[in-house]
Amino acid sequence: MAEKNKNEMVVTPWEVRGKVDYERLIRDFGTQPLTEELLQRIRKHTGELHLQLRRGLFFSHRDLDVVLDLYEKGTKFVLYTGRGPSGPVHIGHLIPWIFTKHLQDKFKTRLYFQMTDDEKFLVKDELKLDEAKNFGYENALDLIALGLKPENTFIIFDVNDIDLLYDIALEVAKRITYSTARATFGFQESTNIGWIFWPAIQAVPCFIHAKLTGENVPALIPAAIDQDPYWRVTRDVAQKLGYYKPAQIHCRFLPGLGVGGKMSASELETSIFVIDPPDVVKRKIWNAFTGGKATVEEQRKLGGDPEVCTVFQYFTFLFEKDDKKLAERRMKCKKGEILCGECKTELTEGVNKFLIEHRKKREKAKNIIEKFHIKR
């Protein structure tokens, strides 16, 4: 929110820019690194580790060890994640949702998914409330298309479901001072008062399971690390309200296709949206920033740099499931045996195949979306 130096790393729930230093975020936010020991504990329950864990895409946590301790002693947990529906979903948003589905399948647990149409209405000057609600419906189809279980997935549409949230939101809001909220979220004199209250609403699904079922269990939140400020304030009030502190598992950002920065809905040309037709996907990928050299000769001689290449990142995050093939691609790139054009062509094919399938499933989701509403 505040004016910052252009190259400085900024990671807030509303803005991510600059080169993201994940080690520093762990220190600055006071989270814990996801250690090999914890990964082995997860493996005991899930079998082979999910690609996003094997490849270090989830890298940090709060209280995951506590959740596993409780689970191993017989206390289940619920999952909680969400979306601020300000436009169509991009591939970056799908990353934590795909992982959430994996956890739901393996641990057979309930997911609360919050669609924050109210947040986006308050935060985005130009967005009308009806538009945010409508994006909420559209984005829910994208979530459902990933195959989440209707009997175990509850989508909370904030504006329509506010009656379920309001009492807990009040309990939370009463215990967070303005000075804490300002220090955590960077609120300014010009921030509207709806926005200032709003973080209390994002806290509610951490605790809603107890209200709906009478069962007090912890919530585990898979999300990218930009959402962490919400959990800092929520964790501070949880025990005062008689609940477990919500636990988190944080992922890195799928980068945009340009130089630096995450895939972000406001950067149209460097983000791939689920609604992008094949020719648009192709154009965006062909313009992507890669680790390639200026000429073919140079690349053949010196090799490319997959570590800085956005195209390689897309294979790593989602589009190359086979670890061996990913390692081969890295090696061939470094040795100059494969050129950027080849990687771009293969990625374009992979992304378009994925999106065509996704859109078919999203159409079918229209027939079952009612099953995901919370019944009163």
Residues that bind ligand TYM (CB under 6 A): 13, 80-84, 92-93, 95-96, 114, 116, 119, 202, 221, 223-224, 226-227, 251, 253-254, 262-263
CA separation for the pair 332, 339 (Å, rounded): 9
Between residues 13 and 303, which has the closer beta carbon with respect to ligand TYM? 13
Shortest distance (Å) from residue 341 CB to ligand TYM = 25
Q: Is 364 exposed, middle or buried (0-12, 13-18, 19+ CB in 10 A)?
A: exposed
Q: How many beta carbons lie within 10 A of that of residue 353, not counting itself?
A: 12
Between residues 61 and 83, which has the closer beta carbon with respect to ligand TYM? 83
Shortest distance (Å) from residue 169 CB to ligand TYM = 13
Between residues 118 and 338, which has the closer beta carbon with respect to ligand TYM? 118
Shortest distance (Å) from residue 313 CB to ligand TYM = 10
Q: Is 156 helix (H, G, I), strand (E, B) or coil?
A: strand
Answer yes or no: are the C-beta atoms of 338 and 296 closer than 8 Å: no
Q: Encoding tokens for residue 368?
A: 């079952």
Using Cβ positions, the residue closest to ligand TYM within the complex turns out to be: 84
Between residues 92 and 303, which has the closer beta carbon with respect to ligand TYM? 92
Chain position carrying tokens 């795909």: 98
Shortest distance (Å) from residue 207 CB to ligand TYM = 13
Q: Which residues contact 143 (CB under 8 A, 6 or more apart)?
A: 83, 97, 113, 155
CA separation for the pair 193, 180 (Å, rounded): 15
Between residues 83 and 330, which has the closer beta carbon with respect to ligand TYM? 83
Shortest distance (Å) from residue 301 CB to ligand TYM = 34
* Cα-Cα end-to-end distance for the chain: 38
Between residues 202 and 299, which has the closer beta carbon with respect to ligand TYM? 202
Shortest distance (Å) from residue 147 CB to ligand TYM = 18
